[in-house]
A and B are shown apart, each in its own frame.
Chain A
Amino acid sequence: MDILSNLLIPIVNLDLLMLIAVGTFAGIYVGAIPGLSVTMAVSILISFTFSWEVYPALALMIGIYMGGVYGGSRTAILLNIPGAPSAIATALDGFPMAQQGRAGEAIGIVTVVSFIGGFIGIFALGAFAPLLSDFAIGFQPRDFMLLAVMGILLVGSLSGDSLVKGIFAGALGIGVGAVGMDPLTIQDRFVFGIDELRGGISFVAVMIGLFGVSEALIQLHSIHTPAVRQKITGIIPSWSKVRKHLPLGLQTSTIGTIVGALPGTGGDIAALMAYDHAKRVTRKPEVPFGKGAIEGLVAPETANNAAVGGAFIPMLTLGIPGDAVTAIMIGALFIHGLNPGPMLMIEQPDMFWFIVSSLALANIFMLIFGLTGIRLFVRIVELPRTVLLPVIMVLSIVGAHAVNNSLTDVYWMLGFGVLGYFMRLYGYPLAPIILGVILSRLLDDNWRRAIISEREDFGAMMMGIFTSPLSLCLFLAVVMILITNSPWWTRWRARKAAE
């Protein structure tokens, strides 16, 4: 009964319902604009909603997240420019369909299968997160420490070409998170005699800089690319077409949920893996893959929306974000005095079921807006970026300033924006930095707890890892990530493939 009443919170409250609808609508817009990511939108939004109650703030962010993941498919189909990384695979068959004059058909099927995938991910969240949370209560500090390391490494290895650059970025994030007074001994760390640094660096400023300003600066390189107009007809797909692709959609939704639930992965990886799966299991597609196959749309779009629900599983049960957006949402929960992790489900189950319910509502709004407002959303790609980018910069500055009413945060935002700009140009992934900042405290606290409980004996701690099945699994996962991303492994695989 409690679960039901918690699930009903955003449904019976008209304000929350409106915020989810507005968020989903805005998310589709943001997702549809190439270069503007959901991560950027949520990171800017967090600073404006920090003074709100937690429910409305989360309702808006959840709407934007769900809508944005779906919205990325629009420009992938219409312009061959994925609006978000999770829509990269969608462009492979979506754009050929648009070239054949089937853009409306492509958008229609994408909308319906995104809805199906989204619901499977949300169902998995509601069904499995409580079980995982019960299991996670028994985690030792060393397990949380290993989980944090695993999350950062996974993001580092999956979000860029070079693992070394990913590890560097993750370590930089942990270092940034450590700036300020040590919470246990109030000793200064990386303060350099500057008083403003004693309170630490606002991670909101870091996020807005890395994902807002640096993206805007990168977009300046292609600011004069002209907008393309497309004709959209025949949007709502027939039931027979949906039914025909449902079995594949269910398989790829499962892939999306599982991949999304792995700490550090996200919709982009889920979509690419699902696309690969569809190519392997579809024996005779009506149209070959890459030339406008419907299966090539069904697989990535079910998977990336299913990954949204999946990404919340580690975030709410372990306190480890599933992807960059959930990393930011963890920050939002921290700001509102909540502590995501196994205890959240016990202490505040209402929060968990509220999130599940809000995701489901956002998914429904996504279907409604997606099928009815296609012509309106197509107009978004015609918006001049010469106006849009300066406005984003103003919002970034206002956002960075709003958190602490401090100009120092604006300078940090600019500094990280410029650093992020160069890092992007030279192939460094940015997501591990933010994950590092978010997980820095978790890593530091749990390392110290683990080593103190072993009386400062590193050997005893390693022995503890090897004698606990869970710790050993996590440790081996960390080692495997390092090995499989090493140049030696790549060379070995290439040699094996050549034989």
Chain B
Amino acid sequence: MEPTPKRRPGELVFNIVIMLASFGLLYSAYGISGFEALSAPGAVPMATTAIMAVCAVLILRDTLRKDGDTTQTLATHILPLIVIVTIAMIAAYALLLRPLGFLPTSVLFLLVMVRFLSKRSLAFCLAVSVGTVLLIWIIFRLIFAVLMPQGIIPEGRIVSAITSLF
């Protein structure tokens, strides 16, 4: 018989959160239309959240049966600093996107991330981030016509100046 896989750090907490969220959603689904009718708007949401809640309980039971993995730690195998910084950086990017605009926020994000991940020289990181953002901007803004927040750079005027050349 195969040995039961070990419980990874944080797995128990994650599954408890999942279970509580499932029961919370089940309560919310009940609030849509209760047991009014089988074709009511809340019928499928109630069924799916009930399935989620039952599954979450079973998953939690299985997790509790596992032995803890002593070879892994939360800080190195689940949430290392590199992941936390990256998530925080994406969140900061999303928050700054509207006030600063796509071009400066993206350059700033890439500059910090490439420097943080590669530890290469500032000049290299700056060249990579400016070059990449320019390439993305040309492909997606000029060719694909994807609109991004303008922010502090008058992007619209730049685009119309470029398009007036052709």
Contacts and interface: CB of A to CB of B under 8 A. Distances in A.
A162 B145 CA distance: 43
B144 A405 contact: no
B87 interface: yes
Most central of A398, A407, A411 by chain B CB within 10 Å: A398
B151 interface: no
Given A402-B147, A426-B14, A168 B45 contact: no
Contacts of B132: 387, 391, 394
Interface residues of A, number: 63
Nearest to A183: B41
A293 B32 CA distance: 59
Given A393-B86, A425-B78, A494-B1, A49 B144 contact: yes
Given A394-B110, A398-B136, A407-B97, A171 B15 contact: no
B117 A217 contact: no
Contacts, number: 164
Nearest to A410: B94
Interface stretch (A4-12, A72-80, A174-182, A280-288): A174-182
Interface in A77-103: none
B97 A397 contact: yes
B150 to A, nearest CB: 11
A142 interface: no
Contacts of B62: 162, 164
Interface centre among A52, A410, A421, A440 (most CB of B within 10 A): A410
A189 B58 contact: no
Interface string B82-106: 1100110011011001100010001
Contact of B52 (A168, A421, A456, A494): A168
A220 B58 contact: no
A440 B8 CA distance: 32
Nearest to B141: A398
Contact of B147 (A187, A405, A417): A405
Interface of B: 1, 5, 8, 10-11, 14-15, 18, 25, 28-29, 32-33, 37-39, 41-45, 48-49, 51-52, 55-56, 58-59, 62, 77-78, 80, 82-83, 86-87, 90-91, 93-94, 97-98, 102, 106, 109-110, 113-114, 117-118, 120, 128, 132-133, 136, 140, 144-149
18 contacts: A48-B146, A175-B45, A187-B32, A188-B32, A189-B32, A213-B90, A221-B83, A387-B117, A390-B109, A390-B117, A391-B132, A393-B93, A394-B133, A398-B102, A407-B94, A407-B97, A407-B98, A443-B44
